Amino acid sequence: MNSKEIPDTPTEAAQLPDVVRLQVYLAHAGVASRRAAEKLIADGRITVNGRRVTTPGEKVQNGDDIRFDGNSVKPENKLVYLVLNKPPFYICSSYDPQGRPLALDLLPPSQPDNSPPLRLYNVGRLDYLSSGLIIFTNDGNFAARIGHPRSGIEKEYLVDSTVPIPDRVVEEFSRGLIIDGILYRAMSIEKTGKKSIRVVLVEGKNREIRRVFSHFRLHPQRLQRIRIGPVCIGELKESESRPLTTEELRLFEKYAENVHENIQSRSKTW
């Protein structure tokens, strides 16, 4: 797909209210997810009508001149949802000060040549050495919902070790272990060979599998994500991307609805 334009997406952007919080506006403009937008604001990279704003909760309205690093941003009118099979040695970021290749650059052009490109960003991350599925979108609401730690979205990995993996790794990771004060626990884990395992995570803390391997003096030779919720890697080759299907988007929305209901029910008991 890399030589082709991104095909039409199954949904159109919802109309924003006349007055919204700044981070919501930035999410709808495809600048970043709401959480990432809050950091951009705190870092002083956003201006509203020529004034630098550092408070995420500030309200903005239609007609305001909103800029990110000096560039004008406006809400997108076309929503894009892509899944990429990222090869190793690519960074999941919009910029890398070390000049390493960006996974974003593997995606096909988002617009015809005579139109400004859509701002796409990754939902979650895969580290530089890891490969596999990563989702890109310009829908900040979607990114916030499925990227929430309580989303309940399973992420499945295949991991090959440079040396045999002791059974205690599987047992302790399944039961839960604390490393540097942080609890790491796999939803499910199984050995698929002397040097390989299949792991399913839900919350997916930063570099979780690598930290657990390091704890046991192990080193992953390959770490590949093969599934995110309803999206499987299938026959998608490295560096290739495709749009999420309408059914996949529906299933992601179902995850989000369940999370919202669970949070609401818990809040009533507090």
The CATH number assigned to the domain holding 90 equals: 3.30.70.580
Measuring CA to CA, which residue among 262, 6, 20 is closest to residue 137? 6
Residue 11 lies in a domain: no
* 37 and 133 inside one domain: no
Is the per-residue pLDDT at 3 higher than 50?
no
Lowest model confidence (mean pLDDT) among 9-23, 36-50, 199-213, 240-254 = 9-23
How large is the average pLDDT for residues 179-187?
95
Residue 6 lies in a domain: no
Lowest model confidence (mean pLDDT) among 20-29, 103-112, 170-179 = 103-112
* 145 and 238 inside one domain: yes
* 161 and 223 inside one domain: yes
pLDDT of the residue at 57: 83
pLDDT of the residue at 268: 44
pLDDT of the residue at 266: 41
Q: Sorting pLDDT into bands at 50, 70 and 90, what band is 236?
A: very high
Residue 257 lies in a domain: yes
The residue range of the domain holding 218 is 155-228
How large is the average pLDDT for residues 128-157?
87
Cβ neighbour number for residue 78 with a 10 Å cutoff: 16
* 165 and 209 inside one domain: yes
* 144 and 237 inside one domain: yes
Give the integer Cα–Cα distance in Å for 213 and 223. 11
Is the per-residue pLDDT at 259 higher than 70?
no
* 43 and 100 inside one domain: no
Specify the CATH number for the domain of residue 201. Answer: 3.30.2350.10
Q: Sorting pLDDT into bands at 50, 70 and 90, what band is 141?
A: confident
Give the integer Cα–Cα distance in Å for 243 and 246. 9
* 198 and 220 inside one domain: yes
Is the per-residue pLDDT at 48 higher than 60?
yes
Q: Sorting pLDDT into bands at 50, 70 and 90, what band is 56?
A: confident
* 205 and 94 inside one domain: no
Ramachandran area for residue 170 (φ above 0: left; ψ -120 to 50: alpha; else beta): alpha
- Mean pLDDT (the chain) is 85
C-alpha angle 55-59-62 in degrees, rounded to nearest 5: 135
The per-residue pLDDT for range 117-129, each reduced to its tens digit, is 677 889 888 999 9
Residue 5 lies in a domain: no
How large is the average pLDDT for residues 186-198?
97
Give the integer Cα–Cα distance in Å for 182 and 185. 10
Which pTM does this prediction carry? 0.76
Residue 3 lies in a domain: no
Residue 237 lies in a domain: yes
Is the per-residue pLDDT at 5 higher than 60?
no
The more confidently predicted of residues 115 and 263 is: 115
Residue 238 lies in a domain: yes
Please provide residue 149's backbone torsions phi and psi, each rounded to the nearest 5 degrees: -55, -25
Question: In a 3-state reduction of DSSP, which class is residue 160?
Answer: strand
Measuring CA to CA, which residue among 252, 187, 182 is closest to residue 214? 182
Give the integer Cα–Cα distance in Å for 17 and 19. 5
End residue of a domain, out of 28, 51, 72: 72
pLDDT of the residue at 265: 47
Specify the CATH number for the domain of residue 62. Answer: 3.10.290.10
* 135 and 248 inside one domain: yes
* 167 and 133 inside one domain: no
Is the per-residue pLDDT at 12 higher than 60?
no
Asked whether the beta carbons of 163 and 194 are under 8 A apart, the reply is: no
pLDDT of the residue at 96: 87
* 111 and 176 inside one domain: no
Measuring CA to CA, which residue among 233, 218, 211, 43 is closest to residue 127? 211
How large is the average pLDDT for residues 175-195?
96
* 31 and 135 inside one domain: no
Residue 52 lies in a domain: yes
Is the per-residue pLDDT at 166 higher than 70?
yes
Give the integer Cα–Cα distance in Å for 247 and 207. 30
Give the count of domains, the chain: 3
Active site (catalytic) residues? 127
Q: Sorting pLDDT into bands at 50, 70 and 90, what band is 149?
A: low
